Amino acid sequence: MTPFRYLRAADVADAVKLGTDDGAAFLGGGTNIVDLMRETVARPDRLVDVTGLSDTITETADGGLLIGAAARNTAVAEHRAVRTRYPLLSRAILAGASAQIRNMATVGGNLLQRTRCTYFYDTDGSRCNKRAPGTGCDARDGFNRIHAVLGASDACVATHPSDMCVALAALDAVVHVNGPDGARTIAFDALHRLPGDRPDRDTMLAPGELITAIALPPLRFAANSAYRKVRDRASYAFALISVAAALEMDGDRIGDVRIAFGGVAHKPWRATRAEAVLRGGPATHAAYRAAAEAEFETARPLRDNAFKPELATRVLAAMLGDLAMGKLA
């Protein structure tokens, strides 16, 4: 591990000041950044501890929730308002890691965790444009079972690993950040980047910007929502495919819907094509499949992951069927 300085931020302004220089990184629960440092994938020369900043979960004036970025994943998953009004978020967090990791991990850190692509972590023998831009991508012709089928590029086919982020994408969450140029908000779907020719950049955050909170809007039908994750083993593996969905029925037709996929792209994938197909239409298995097929029309599977579009289609169809009949409420 590369030597580094440890600094503890007194408040948001102090954190931004300490974290602006090149070589600085923010430290939340440390469940990802410490691993990256041990593997010498990340080599910050200073860690700015932001765990003392806001960890509260509060009601907003419009009826939503504001979650402090330092809130632990366990606290979010167990919060009564999250469990009753946004159950897909609670279920996504519980699907994401062991209790020990959830007790340490913070919401802000979860948004910034990096891919678990094995070539990204192999600093000794693999080419990886995300780790070392311009070196190549060994995953494209290597073992790519877990890799992206949507939004990938010739430079990178890695997937985003977070479960929580898939739920937040489906919920139209808004990310609050603060940085050298002041405070701003970012729509959740605009926070993470597709790889393009710069896969080393995971988000749209500017240097030194710190995530301070995540706002959940008062989505009236989010109580009828669920999260499902398909993985190679039941014990805390990363998703081959995951689906977050919320459904509002209007009689026997679909009034409104929110859908996001995990395990398919460089970022949590908001399924806007599928949503458009479903809105106002019948709540039938054929309609659910047609929506998923529309979303994956542009998929570009690799040698080992051609099963992903069909798997995602089946999971989404089953989920929507259960939500339509109130089985998951």
Task: Specify burial of residue 260 (Cβ count, 10 A radius: 0-12, 13-18, 19+).
Answer: buried
Confidence at residue 297, expressed as pLDDT on a 0 to 100 scale: 97
**pLDDT at residue 234 in the model:** 82
Q: Please name the residues in contact with 303: beta carbons below 8 A apart, sequence gap of 6 or more.
A: 141, 144
pLDDT of residue 329: 52
pLDDT at site 22: 82
Which residues, other chains included, contact 125 with Cβ-Cβ below 8 Å and sequence gap of 6+? none
Which residues contact residue 124 at a Cβ distance below 8 angstroms, ignoring those fewer than 6 apart?
none
DSSP string, 141-171: TS--TTS-SSS-BTTB------SHHHHHHHT
Name the token pair of 193: 């980047």
* Per-position b or e across 57-79, b if 16+ CB within 10 A of its CB: beeeeeebbbbbbbbbbbbbbeb
Query: Going by C-beta distance under 8 Å and a sequence separation of 6 or more, which residues neighbour residue 209?
Result: 16, 177, 178, 179, 180
What string of pLDDT tens digits covers the 329 residues of the chain?
678 999 999 999 999 999 988 899 999 999 999 999 999 999 999 999 999 999 999 999 999 999 999 999 999 999 999 999 999 999 999 999 888 999 999 999 999 999 999 999 999 999 999 999 999 999 999 999 999 999 999 999 999 999 999 999 999 999 999 999 999 999 999 999 999 999 999 999 999 999 999 999 999 999 999 999 999 988 788 999 999 999 999 999 999 999 999 999 999 999 999 999 999 999 999 999 999 999 999 999 999 999 999 999 999 999 999 999 987 65
What is the pLDDT, as a whole number, of residue 50?
96
Counts of helices then strands in the chain (DSSP H, E): 13, 12
> Which residue type does 45 have?
D
Task: Give the chain's domains with CATH numbers.
Answer: 5-51 (3.30.43.10), 225-324 (3.30.390.50)
Contact 247/323 with Cβ under 8 angstroms? yes
Tell me, what's the pLDDT at 1? 64
Q: According to the model, what pLDDT value does residue 328 have?
A: 67
Question: Two tokens at 85?
Answer: 């009004």
Predicted TM-score (pTM) of this structure: 0.96
Report how far residue 132's alpha carbon sits from residue 35's, in angstroms, rounded to the nearest whole number.
Answer: 18
Using an 8 Å Cβ cutoff, are 301 and 150 in contact?
no
